[in-house]
Structure 1
Amino acid sequence: MRFKFIDAKKAKHPLHLLCKAFNVSPSGYYDWCKRPMSQRQRDDLVLLTNIRTIHKETYQSYGRKRMTDELRDLGFTVSEKRVARLMKDNNIKVIRTHAFKKTTDSDHNFNVAPNLLDGDFTTTGSNQKWAGDISGPVP
C-alpha cells in the first residue's frame, strides 16, 4: 500500500522524501516496481474484466450480489466482498432508474378554489392573509 501511494505521488514529490516519510528504502520501492504481479492480482484482473463486461451488458443495473451470482454462473469462485471491493476500487456503480410515478391527479371534475393571494403575501399587519393546505397526508 505504501509503495502504491509512493508510485502515485512520485511525479510531484522527490522519491527519496516520499520513501523517508513512509519509512521505506528507495531500493525497496524499486524492488516492488520490478516484482511480478501475484496470482491474486492476476485473478482480480480477470474478474474485473468480466465485471466490466457484465456491468455494461446489464445497463449498469447489477450490484455486488447479482454480479456475484452472475460470475458464479460463469464458473468463477468468488465472494460478494471481493466483488464489492473490485467494484468500489474501480468506481463501478449501479445506476438506479425509477419509472415516473404520477402523484397529482389534475384531471378531475371537483371544484377548484380560486387563488386569491396569487403569490402576494405582503401585509401591513397581522391577521390579514391566511393560507392553508387540505391535501391530506401523503401515503
Structure 2
Amino acid sequence: MTVLCRVMQVSTSAYYAWCNSPPDSDKKYQDQQLAENVLQIFNDNKQSFGSRRLADRLQKQGFAVGRFKTRRIMRDLKLKVRYPKRFKVTTDSNHSEAISPNRLDRQFKVAQPNQVWTTDIT
C-alpha cells in the first residue's frame, strides 16, 4: 500500500482517512441533499425565505451550513425571493366631506323599472 501511495503522491494517512470515511461524506452528495432541502423549504414558505432564514431552518434540521453557503446554493438553483405585497389602505372614512344618504336602504325590489339605479365601485 505504501508503494501505491508513493506512486499516486498521496500520504498513507490521507488514504486511510479516505478508506474509513463514511460513504455519504462525499461533498457532491451532501450538496445535492442540501439543495433538495433548500428547494423544499423555499417552496413550502411561499418563496419568501432568504439565505438567513433558510440557513436557520437547515441548521435546525441538523445540517452544518451557514448563510453564505445557503446563498451560493440559492444562486445555483436560481431561487429569487418574492416579497409579499404590503397592505395598502384605500378607504379613508375619517373625512369631513358630505356623505350621500342611503335612500335605498337595501330594498332592492321595486315596482317599475328605471326607478332605482345602482352601481358597483369595486
Deviation at 1:39, TM superposition (A): 2.1
| SS of residue matched to 2:86 | coil
Deviation at 1:56, TM superposition (A): 1.2
The higher relative CO (CA closer than 8 Å, separation ≥ 6) is in: 2
**Letter of the aligned partner of 2:27 in structure 1?**
R
- Distance in 2, matches of 1:81 and 1:39, equals 20
Matched, 1:98 2:85: yes
Q: Find the structure with the greater CA-based Rg.
A: 2
- Please give the residue correspondences for 1:57-136 in structure 2 after superposition, counting only pairs within 5 Å: 57-102=44-89, 105=92, 108-110=95-97
Matched, 1:49 2:36: yes
Give a deviation string over 1:68-121, Cα, whole Å, max 9, x none.
Answer: 00000000001111100000111112110123222673762248xxxxxxxxxx
- Distance in 1, matches of 2:66 and 2:86, equals 32
TM-score by length of 1: 0.47
Query: Structure 1: any 5+ residue segments left out of the alignment?
Result: 1-37, 112-139
| SS of residue matched to 1:65 | helix
- Distance in 2, matches of 1:52 and 1:94, equals 12
**Letter of the aligned partner of 2:61 in structure 1?**
L
Matched, 1:40 2:27: yes
TM-score by length of 2: 0.53
C-alpha RMSD over aligned residues: 2.3
Query: Structure 2: any 5+ residue segments left out of the alignment?
Result: 1-24, 99-122
How many residue pairs match? The answer is 74
